Amino acid sequence: MKNKLPFFLLIIGLLAASCQSKTSVSNEKTQDSSMQDNETLMLTKAPFGSTPDGPADLYTFKNQNGMVVEITNFGGIITSIMVPDRDGNFEDVNLGFDNLQEYVDGNPFFGAIVGRYGNRIGGAKFTIDGNEYKLLANNGVNHLHGGKQGFDKRLWDAQIIDMEGVPALQLHRISADMEEGYPGNLDVTIVYSLDDENRLTIDYTATTDKPTVCNLTNHAYFNLAGHDDGNIMDHEMMLNADHYTPVDDGLIPTGEIRPVEGTPFDFRNPKRIGNEIDSDHPQMQIGKGYDHNFVLNHEPGGGMVQLAAVVYEPTSGRVMEAYTSEPGIQFYSGNFMSGEVVGKGGAVYPRRGAFCLETQHYPDSPNKPEFPSVVLRPGETYHTTTAYQFSTRPE
């Protein structure tokens, strides 16, 4: 977790700097009509509503291809991702709500930053250096996604920054010592950026003044046909993983790292998500589909941003590639979506109406010494990068 800035981000910055005169960085809401032909990337800001902790804003990226990404500093939530299909028609492929109040009232993690610990911690407790820390059991007897008021429910300090000529959104907060039961004052900075290759990058950095655990991710729900366009069973997925971590009845990893070969978890070659989702395989029965961590086939050494997944939606032709420096990725196929949540534009989101690809260290790593460590100590820097890149394929 003590990594330098990934090389490909430096290249992006250098390329952007060469066309700095073509880049618009604005702190005021600007109408699309003000985007001149010689501009490439824009990032604008507008009021979004009120939260219990104060007013929140909505930040809008737009690149030269017309891709639009909207993010609020409440929970670091990605509220919209507008990308074209193979015919140039734009759709929002990110599930969410129309207004801030709906996110405040009860967001099932749509598009949100999750922390301090993304995913589950078994028994809602962990031990560091002989000291046991008890967390809220908010998922049966286990702890999920940072607790009652995790990072997804916090108002972050936000500013638009110029990242070597490229506009970026920087979010910052200090998670106080023992917030939600976690030790140490955790100083967290998250940077969102969009480039003209339709790549949305999320860069996470954190430091602490006491030994703690840290595992940050984003919980976007994707449907590449459109956020309001049925289920994701016909999406085709490739996961760059030879192994996965099987779970017990509480969806806590057993500690085993098991080969995917010969199981419904083998996505090394692209296949429909729905092909084996209702298999009688015991692990599929536990999760009611996919809700498992996959061990990525990353080059040794750590810290490199590498391909983790490719998802293709055949009707629209949209493709999403996921890249990360993390060792794992949680593939969730929306099995616990209730079919009752009303989202943007009055859309009712059905069961399995979206998929999540949460880049991460493995679930319950604080209690699994055989897994890659998530312990962060004073003097160390937690740094990870994830990127989602969108494109299309011809019919």
| DSSP state letters, 305-348 | -EEEEEEEETTTTEEEEEEESSSEEEEE--TT--S--B-GGGPB
Going by C-alpha positions, the residue among 332, 283, 286, 285 that lies closest to residue 311 is: 332
Is the separation of the CB atoms in 270 and 238 below 8 Å?
A: yes
Average pLDDT, the chain: 91
DSSP 122: G
**Would the pLDDT of 206 be above 90?**
yes
**Would the pLDDT of 9 be above 90?**
no
Least confident piece of the model among 23-27, 144-148, 359-363: 23-27
Is the separation of the CB atoms in 204 and 212 below 8 Å?
A: no
**pLDDT tens readout for residues 219-276:** 999 999 999 999 999 999 999 999 999 999 999 999 999 999 999 999 999 999 999 9
State the alpha helices, DSSP H only, in the chain: 7-18, 100-106, 282-287
Segment 140-168 mean pLDDT:
95
**pLDDT tens readout for residues 47-92:** 999 999 999 999 999 999 999 999 999 999 999 999 999 999 999 9
**Could you state, in order of their start, the residue ranges of all structural domains in the chain?**
7-392
Instruction: Count Cα neighbours of 54 within 13 Å in the Cβ-side half-sphere.
Output: 7
pLDDT at 243: 98
pLDDT at 299: 82
Q: Which residues pair with 296 in a beta bridge?
A: 241
CATH number of 7-392: 2.70.98.10
Q: Which residues are catalytic, by number?
A: 219, 358
Give the span between the Cα atoms of 373 and 117, in whole angstroms. 13
Segment 381-395 mean pLDDT:
97
List CB contacts of 143: < 8 A, sequence separation 6 or more.
117, 120, 121, 124, 125, 135, 136, 137
More confident residue, 12 or 167: 167
pLDDT at 301: 65
**pLDDT tens readout for residues 294-313:** 999 988 766 789 999 999 99
Is omega for the bond preceding 116 within 30 degrees of 0, making it cis?
yes
Confidence of residue 2 (pLDDT cuts 50, 70, 90): very low
Count CB neighbours of 378 within 10 A. Answer: 11
Provide the strand spans (E) within 118-249.
Answer: 120-121, 125-128, 131-134, 143-144, 157-163, 166-175, 186-194, 199-208, 212-213, 217-218, 236-239, 241-245
* Structure token digits, residue 223: 């449907």
**Would the pLDDT of 10 be above 90?**
no
**Would the pLDDT of 127 be above 90?**
yes
Give the span between the Cα atoms of 132 and 115, in whole angstroms. 19
Q: What is the pTM of this model?
A: 0.90
**Would the pLDDT of 39 be above 80?**
no
**Would the pLDDT of 325 be above 90?**
yes
Going by C-alpha positions, the residue among 198, 228, 255, 239 that lies closest to residue 332 is: 239
Report the percent of the chain where pLDDT is more than 90: 86
> What does the angle CA 333 – CA 335 – CA 337 come to, to the nearest 5 degrees?
110
Count CB neighbours of 256 within 10 A. Answer: 11
